Amino acid sequence: MKQLVQATSAIIIVCLLLFFASRSLESAGAKGSKDTLTVYNWGEYIDPELIDAFEQETGIHVVYETFDSNEAMYTKVQQGGSSYDIAVPSEYMIETMIEDDMLIELDHSLIPNMKNIDPYFLDLPFDPGNKYSTPYFWGTVGIVYNPSMVPEDLTFESWEDLWDERLKDKVFLVDGSREVIGMGLNSLGYSLNLKDDLALREATDKLIELTPNVKAIIGDEITPLMINNEATVALTWSGQAADMMWENEELDFAVPEEGSNLWFDNFVIPKTSKNIEGAHAFINFMLDAENGAQNADYVGYSTPNAASWELMDEEVISDERFYPDVELRERLEVYENLGLKWLGKYNEYFLEFKMNLN
């Protein structure tokens, strides 16, 4: 019994100590400012120095929270209980959030730096006139591969190359129904936003033929595998491919000609916001030419900020794999919001494909 009492009191004392330690650290960080701004973003998706700079410049204290998927972020913002001032969803999620009336209309007069954005990335179908969002990063979906480990004639300029018999047990796919089913549709020459049972069936059957080549369907863990030369070919996002190629110079990235996905992560201000003015200031700050360049340099994804391009390494900007020219972009499609019914079907087909793996 004595042991139990002792242990309990020890734990309570430690808890108290920790509580005060956390309190004092937090207040030291806040610098007594009452004006706070909660930013909800993907992890490691911003240069922390920029947050410090923003705090210095405006006196607003930034609370930074992170999420790991659009859907999880959506649930959190929708349920409320926490006041997010800025969120960074992908384009199809922005469409859903607009539909569900979860976003505040942007006041463009407070975001003069919007002029820095390349017009190509403005006024897109998921948010006409950029009423609710401003672009943050963008990219494509394609194939990252190690040329020294695949037969020379495979350049992945066509999706068909993935089906090559010599790639048995060598292909890695991302764990996303839109990406994988979309690839199946693209490889047949269909749009990746198709709502047609027959075409989806056809795409799934075609994908099932791919299963002997598929080694695994995974998520972000593909990065260390590609860097390590443990994986040979992987379907992935361009941003991640850039990360891999940064570490492993042997790797190459290709966006197949039949078409692929063009994605965006944009800033939005959810209706939960309690500091709308601060949120606008933050967006404007991030769209500044210099800040945008610094951030793109840190994160390694493609930035839509044309003014930043001027300040960035020429070699990065002219790399067509990550900054495809207009002609290339023509072949790419942005995900449309399929609606829950069709999204469900995509997932059912994807599940069927996965069940055929083993």
Partner 1 sequence: MQSKNRTALFPYVIWIALFVIAPIALVLYYSMLDLSGNFTLENYKNFFSAIYLKMTFTSFWYAFLITFFTLLIAYPTAYLLTKTKHKQLWLMLIIIPSWINLLLKTYAFIGIFGLYGPINAFIEVFGFDPQQILFTDFSFIFVSVYIFIPFMIIPIFNSLDKLNPSLVFAARDLGASSWTTFRRVVFPLTIDGVKSGIQVTFIPALSLFMITRLIAGNQVITLGTAIEQQFLVSQNWGMGSTIAVFLIVFMVLTMMVTGQKKKGGRV
Partner 2 sequence: MNKLSAASKGYLVLVFIVLYAPIFYLIFYSFNSGGNMNDFESFTLEHYKAVFEDTRLLVILINTVLIALLSGLIATIIGTLGAIGIVSMKDKKLRNTFLSLNNVLIVSPDVVIGASFLILFTMIGVKLGFTSVLVSHIAFSVPIVVLMVLPKLLEMNTSLIDAARDLGATKRDVLMRVILPYIAPGIFAGFFMAITYSLDDFAVTFFVTGNGFSTLSVEIYSMARAGITLTINAISGLVFLVTVLVVIGYYFVNNRTKARMGESK
Binding-site ranges for partner 1 (CB under 8 A): 69, 71-72, 74, 169, 172, 175-177, 215-219, 221, 224-225, 228-230, 340-341, 343-344, 347-348, 351-352, 354-355, 357-358
What is the Cα–Cα distance from 144 to 231, expressed in whole angstroms? 10
Q: How far is the CB of 21 from partner 2 (least distance, A)?
A: 6
Among 129, 151, 189, 224, binds partner 2 (CB under 8 A): 224
Specify the DSSP element, H or E, that contains 350.
helix 339-355
Q: How far is the CB of 4 from partner 2 (least distance, A)?
A: 6
Determine the Cα angle at 296 with ends 301 and 175, to 5°.
20
Of 29 and 112, which has the nearer Cβ to partner 2? 29
Torsion sign, CA atoms 62, 65, 70, 75:
negative
Give the three-state DSSP class for 86: strand
> Residues 6 or more apart from 142 whose CB is under 8 A from it?
156, 235, 236, 238, 241, 253, 254, 255, 256, 260, 321
Q: Does 223 bind partner 2 (CB under 8 A)?
A: yes
Of 54 and 126, which has the nearer Cβ to partner 1? 126
* Binding range to partner 2, per CB under 8 A, among 26-34, 110-118, 125-133, 184-192: 26-34
- Write phi, then psi, for 180 (nearest 5 degrees): -75, -50
Q: How far is CA 70 from CA 97, 106, 121, 124, in A?
A: 11, 21, 20, 19
CB under 5 to 8 A by kind: which of partner 2, partner 1, none does 109 bind? none
Q: How far is the CB of 249 from partner 1 (least distance, A)?
A: 17
Of 323 and 349, which has the nearer Cβ to partner 1? 349
Q: What share of the chain is helix, strand, coil (3-state, %, to 5)?
A: 50, 20, 30
* Binding range to partner 2, per CB under 8 A, among 90-98, 216-224, 280-288, 317-325: 216-224
According to CB under 8 A, which residues from 65 to 84 bind partner 2?
65-68, 72, 75-76, 79-83
Q: Does 178 bind partner 2 (CB under 8 A)?
A: no
Q: Does 213 bind partner 2 (CB under 8 A)?
A: no
Give the three-state DSSP class for 19: helix
* Binding range to partner 2, per CB under 8 A, among 38-46, 98-106, 190-198, 204-212: 38-46
CB under 5 to 8 A by kind: which of partner 1, partner 2, none does 1 bind? partner 2
Interaction pattern, residues 1-20, with partner 2; x per rule: CB under 8 A: x-xx--xx--xx-xx--xx-
What is the Cα–Cα distance from 269 to 279, expressed in whole angstroms? 7
- The DSSP letter of residue 270 is B
Of 157 and 221, which has the nearer Cβ to partner 1? 221
Q: Does 149 bind partner 2 (CB under 8 A)?
A: no
Of 114 and 343, which has the nearer Cβ to partner 1? 343
> Residues 6 or more apart from 295 whose CB is under 8 A from it?
46, 47, 50, 286, 303
Q: How far is the CB of 191 from partner 2 (least distance, A)?
A: 27
CB atoms inside a 10 Å sphere around CB 53: 14
Q: How far is the CB of 265 from partner 1 (least distance, A)?
A: 18
Number of residues that bind partner 2 (CB under 8 A): 48
Is 146:315 a contact under the CB 8 Å cutoff?
no
